[in-house]
Amino acid sequence: MTAPSSDLALEIIELNKAFGGLKVTQGVSLSIRPGERRLIIGPNGAGKTTLFNQISGDMRPNSGRIRLFDEDVTTLAPYQRAHRGLSRTYQIITLFAGDTLEHNVTLGLLGLLPSRWQMWRPLSSYRHLAEDARRTLDSVGLLHLADHPVSELAYGEKRRLELAMAMAQKPRVLLLDEPLAGLSDNERGTVKSLIASIPKEVTVVMIEHDMDTALDLAETVTLLNYGRVIVDGERDTVIADERTREVYLGA
Amino acid sequence: MKWIASAVFAAVALWLPFFVGDFYINLASQIFIAAIFALSLNLLVGFGGMTSLGHASYLGVAAYVSALMTSRYGFGHGTAALISILGTVAMAAFFGVIALRATGLGFLMITLALSQVLWGLAYRMSDVTNGDNGITGLTRPAPFGISLDSAASFYWFALVVAIIAFVMMAIFVSSSFGSSLKGVRDQPRRMAALGFNPWMIRWITFVYAGFWGGVAGLLYVYYNKYIHPTSLSTTSSAEALLGVIAGGSGTLAGPAVGAAIVLLLKNYASAYVERWNMLLGVVFLFIVLVMPTGIVPGLQQLAARFRGRWS
Amino acid sequence: MQFWIIQGLNSLSLGGLLFLLSSGFSLIFGLMRLANLTHGAFFMLGTYLGAVALRAYSGLNIWVTAIGAGIIVAALGGLFERLVLTRLKTNPLGQVLVTLGMSFIISDACLVLWGGDSIPVPTPHNLQAPTRLFGFAFPTYRLALVGVAVSAAIVLYILIDRTRLGAMIRAGVDDRQMARAVGIPVSRLFTLVFCLGAGVAGAAGVLGGPILSAYPGLDADMLPLALIVVILGGIGSLFGAFIGSFIIGFIYTFGTMVPDLGYIILFLPMIVVIAFRPQGLFGRLSA
């Protein structure tokens, strides 16, 4: 079965997922072009993070397909998708709290390298990894904290670090799960400009449940509710659509 | 600081047989064996975050295979050791696949169940294992023609093996693989998202830990010249686990210290207290309730507080 | 033919005993997320108590003894839970280790109190004569055991599924924090369930006496069987424990007829189930 080659970065076809009787994803289909900035919005419980979990491979859908740059990745494990250019941040901070910032980023860099299997040279001897890590930290303004443990970081700084780790792998598709959640106005500005500065070649898909905060970062918007795609299209069209108002006013 | 301590330790260890009698030399040999065993378990517990209650399987199987190969099938020690280690590693590979279908408590239960089945087999397959009588009359190897029958010569042999084991495990732990292992212990989902294969990392560690458990088993059977099903028992696994926890699973040397303490306790206590098992149970309760992070971290904390008071 | 019938009944009665043992384990694991490694020792303690009592007082009713021993073991379990386990709420590994330590303490205490020899337990007089059905003779006591196990299963089912207490237990299993939030006294529930599990194990120990005898190491023989049953049947599922117990009862009885390697046969269903369904046949929780 040769599917017609498409030029989509991420294609989701009729995705379905249910937990027992609870349907969390119902017939979701998305087409995301390379370099696009897509925002996925919806009230709490709409199934946004569950959708992300299926895209990243943390959850298996009951039916449907997921294609990453025309390759079917539906049955691939999360680490295999990472090797195909998929990167993701999480809603809850999942950094290595007891380790330094440099170590965190170094791990991020190591994940795609063959030397991650190597058992006889100390990690600290990989000088170029350390340099790359520091360079990455510098690009998000955290170099001065490179040798501090992550536990000492402020919440906003942790978010920036997460972003840095995701970007360090030079992904083709970046999934950001509520990157602005819980940030103060100041911190939000910093993180937003970081997201805005992501290279154009990288496809960015973002989840936010607060519509206003992330809108100016998005080109296209998908509105999810009860696991279904309600509206999908150019940002301004979706905002103007009365179904969008309904969902949010009703929520 | 760590290098000074290691150097002092090495110096003392090297010259020990010239200063103390056979009883203490033998005790020290046993400590080395227990230390290697505890260190191998700690690869799983402390660095891998996988608590196993079946580690005695690897010690016991290696010991039994060596015993059988030499006493019953007439193999030389070198070949027997090779077959022993290969067999133990193969078993670890197989058990790892089964046990790693679960994590946490499920993993613990599966390792316990697997090791108990082995223990039961050791008792019941008396045609092969001699059951409750164990296998006696074994010999020690003579590497490069050097006899290990004297207490001192075995001691130095065990010391060399222990140093090699310690160094190799230290290298393993600080390598990139070791860092990925610790990462998987702390944040498995994040590691998977970054491109690491958590299952494979855990499985490889499981097999490597089984390898060193087997090495400890060979030393064990060479030292005792005897093997009995109790070496495969949960008590045996539990003693190692107690050593790891008492010494502190977060450090590399901690489990070795803990294993030494457990062994000394066992030796001295059995002179005064008949019930070692009961004492072991009480010590477990005590350590877990009072010193959950272990003795070595506890001492480190005390030292830090002392330094704080002096400055 | 008679032989196979007897073996079949032996399997059923062993399965029944295993169910009584592992139902407690499964409940404790399901609600408290605790792998109670003391469970084998609780069983053994019951067997010893029953053995001593029944040999000392020949007129003693075994069912009453079972209940009595069950209460004693339950009390011991409750003390342990209150004094030790509650202090380790944040240390699940520590909890498992203390149950291991406790099992060493209990098993060694039995050794001290009652010596190293196996103590056979007399089958109750009124159940010694075989029952004749369909032309075959069935050892009556084993029949009674199966009956007791099935009754216990029904009682437990009603307790868990149909009473308010059971509803609270199920709520606690599903979502501990939520249960607390709606006012369910979770820590008292934990103590109650632990006592219940320990008590049933102790009572089962008494009932197992005539078949197994009281001997040092009984705990180490029974605990892995309970573990295998729970792994096989699925954690948190009483029904799974029921089915698993009888499967293991059959495999163990027929397997150990084969000398030497028969014991390996216990491995196989566990490995097969773990390979294809790691959550067990009927499990709802992942470990």
| Residues of chain C contacting residue B107, judged by C-beta atoms under 8 Å apart | 287
Phi-psi region of B148 (alpha: psi -120 to 50; beta: other; left: phi over 0): alpha
Give the per-residue pLDDT at C123: 82
Q: Which of the residue ranges A199-213, B23-37, B100-114, C22-36 has the most confident prediction, judged by mean pLDDT?
A: B23-37
Instruction: Look at B106 and C287 and tell me if their CB atoms are within 8 Å.
Output: yes
Last residue of some domain: A169, A188, A221? A169
Give the per-residue pLDDT at B91: 96
Q: Which residue has the tokens 């196996």?
A: C118
Instruction: Look at A122 and B194 and tell me if their CB atoms are within 8 Å.
Output: no
B181 touches chain A (CB under 8 A): no
The count of structural domains within chain A is: 2
Q: Which helix (H) or strand (E) holds A14?
A: strand A10-19
List of residues 6+ apart from C132 with CB closer than 8 A: C138
Q: Are residues A60 and A81 in the same domain?
A: yes
Q: Give the count of Cβ contacts less than 8 A between chain B and C.
A: 133
Q: Are residues A70 and A57 in the same domain?
A: yes
- Walk along chain C (287 residues) in steps of 10 and give the mean pLDDT of each run: 80 91 88 88 94 84 90 95 87 85 92 88 78 75 88 88 82 77 83 92 92 89 88 80 89 77 73 74 52
**Among the partner residues A83, A90, A122, nearest to B174 by beta-carbon distance:** A122
Q: Which of B176, B182, B199 to mutate to test the interface with A (most CBs of A within 10 A)?
A: B176
Contact A123, B178 (CB under 8 A): yes
Q: Are residues A176 and A77 in the same domain?
A: yes
The Cα–Cα gap between B134 and C267 comes to 23
Q: Are residues A103 and A216 in the same domain?
A: no
* Per-chain mean pLDDT for chain B: 88
The Cα–Cα gap between A89 and A68 comes to 18
Residue among A155, A209, A165, A206 at smallest CA distance from A45: A209
SS3 of B269-289: the string is HHHHCCCHHHHHHHHHHHHHH
Instruction: Look at A87 and B190 and tell me if their CB atoms are within 8 Å.
Output: no
**Among the partner residues B172, B179, B195, nearest to A82 by beta-carbon distance:** B195
Q: Are residues A155 and A226 in the same domain?
A: no
Q: Are residues A71 and A180 in the same domain?
A: yes
Q: What is the pLDDT of residues B168-187, one digit of tens each?
A: 999 999 999 999 999 999 99
| Residues of chain B contacting residue A121, judged by C-beta atoms under 8 Å apart | 175-176
Contact A95, A162 (CB under 8 A): yes
Instruction: Look at B235 and C275 and tell me if their CB atoms are within 8 Å.
Output: no
Last residue of some domain: A109, A143, A169? A169
Looking at A75-234, list the stretches that DSSP marks H as alpha helix, in order from N- to C-terminal side: 78-82, 101-110, 127-139, 155-168, 185-196, 211-214
**Among the partner residues A83, A97, A121, nearest to B195 by beta-carbon distance:** A83
Contact A54, A61 (CB under 8 A): yes
| Residues of chain C contacting residue B288, judged by C-beta atoms under 8 Å apart | 88, 91, 94, 97-98, 101
Q: Which of B172, B184, B189, B194 to mutate to test the interface with A (most CBs of A within 10 A)?
A: B194
Give the per-residue pLDDT at C285: 46
- Walk along chain A (251 residues) in steps of 10 and give the mean pLDDT of each run: 67 89 89 92 86 92 92 93 92 88 92 91 88 90 90 89 89 92 85 89 88 82 89 86 76 47
| Residues of chain A contacting residue B193, judged by C-beta atoms under 8 Å apart | 56, 58, 78-79, 82, 87-88, 90
Instruction: Look at B278 and C94 and tell me if their CB atoms are within 8 Å.
Output: no
Instruction: Look at A122 and B197 and tell me if their CB atoms are within 8 Å.
Output: no
Q: Are residues A3 and A69 in the same domain?
A: yes
Q: Are residues A104 and A210 in the same domain?
A: no
Q: Reply yes or no on whether the pLDDT at B193 is more than 80.
A: yes
Q: Which of C39, C90, C91, C93 to mutate to test the interface with B (most CBs of B within 10 A)?
A: C93
CATH topology of domain C6-276: ABC transporter involved in vitamin B12 uptake, BtuC (1.10.3470)
- A92 in a domain, yes or no? no
Q: Which residue has the tokens 């029974």?
A: C222
Last residue of some domain: A169, A185, A215? A169
B175 touches chain A (CB under 8 A): yes
Residue A142: domain span: 98-169
B43 touches chain A (CB under 8 A): no
- A17 in a domain, yes or no? yes
B48 touches chain A (CB under 8 A): no
Q: Are residues A127 and A199 in the same domain?
A: no
3-state secondary structure (DSSP) of residue A71 = strand
How far, rounded to the nearest angstrom, does the alpha carbon of residue C140 sit from its chain's CA centroid?
Answer: 21
**Among the partner residues B180, B186, B194, nearest to A82 by beta-carbon distance:** B194
CA distances to A107, B261, C63 from B206, rounded to whole Å, are 21, 25, 47
The Cα–Cα gap between C91 and C59 comes to 47
pTM of the predicted model as reported, rounded to 2 decimal places: 0.88
**Among the partner residues B98, B112, B285, nearest to C224 by beta-carbon distance:** B112
Instruction: Look at B109 and C231 and tell me if their CB atoms are within 8 Å.
Output: yes
Q: What is the pLDDT of residues C33-57, one digit of tens each?
A: 888 999 999 999 999 999 999 888 8
| Residues of chain A contacting residue B178, judged by C-beta atoms under 8 Å apart | 119, 123
Instruction: Look at B284 and C104 and tell me if their CB atoms are within 8 Å.
Output: yes
The CATH number for A228's domain is 3.40.50.300
In chain C, domain spans = 6-276
Give the per-residue pLDDT at B2: 67
B212 touches chain A (CB under 8 A): no
Instruction: Look at B233 and C261 and tell me if their CB atoms are within 8 Å.
Output: no
Give the per-residue pLDDT at A250: 58
| Residues of chain B contacting residue A98, judged by C-beta atoms under 8 Å apart | 186
Q: Are residues A20 and A33 in the same domain?
A: yes
Q: Are residues A52 and A151 in the same domain?
A: no
Q: What is the pLDDT of residues B209-260, one digit of tens each?
A: 999 999 999 999 999 999 999 999 888 999 999 899 888 888 888 899 999 9
- Listed by number, the residues of chain A in 177-206 with a beta carbon closer than 8 Å to a beta carbon of chain B are none
A136 touches chain B (CB under 8 A): no
Q: Greatest CA separation found in chain A?
A: 61
Residue among A207, A182, A183 at smallest CA distance from A47: A207
| Residues of chain C contacting residue B100, judged by C-beta atoms under 8 Å apart | none
Q: How many CB atoms lie within 10 A of CB A92?
A: 8
- How far away is chain B from the Cα of A63, in angstroms, using its nearest Cα? 22
Give the per-residue pLDDT at C262: 66
Q: Which of C81, C104, C261 to mutate to test the interface with B (most CBs of B within 10 A)?
A: C104
Give the per-residue pLDDT at C287: 30
Q: Reply yes or no on whether the pLDDT at B284 is more than 90.
A: no
Phi-psi region of A129 (alpha: psi -120 to 50; beta: other; left: phi over 0): alpha
Structure tokens at B189: 């989902």
Question: Looking at residues B285-297, what average pLDDT do you find?
Answer: 79
- A28 in a domain, yes or no? yes
Q: Are residues A140 and A182 in the same domain?
A: no
Does the interface ipTM go beyond 0.90?
A: no
DSSP code of residue A5: P
List of residues 6+ apart from B77 with CB closer than 8 A: B66, B70, B139, B140, B141, B142
Q: Give the count of Cβ contacts less than 8 A between chain A and B.
A: 93
Instruction: Look at B197 and A110 and tell me if their CB atoms are within 8 Å.
Output: no
**Among the partner residues B117, B280, B285, nearest to C224 by beta-carbon distance:** B117
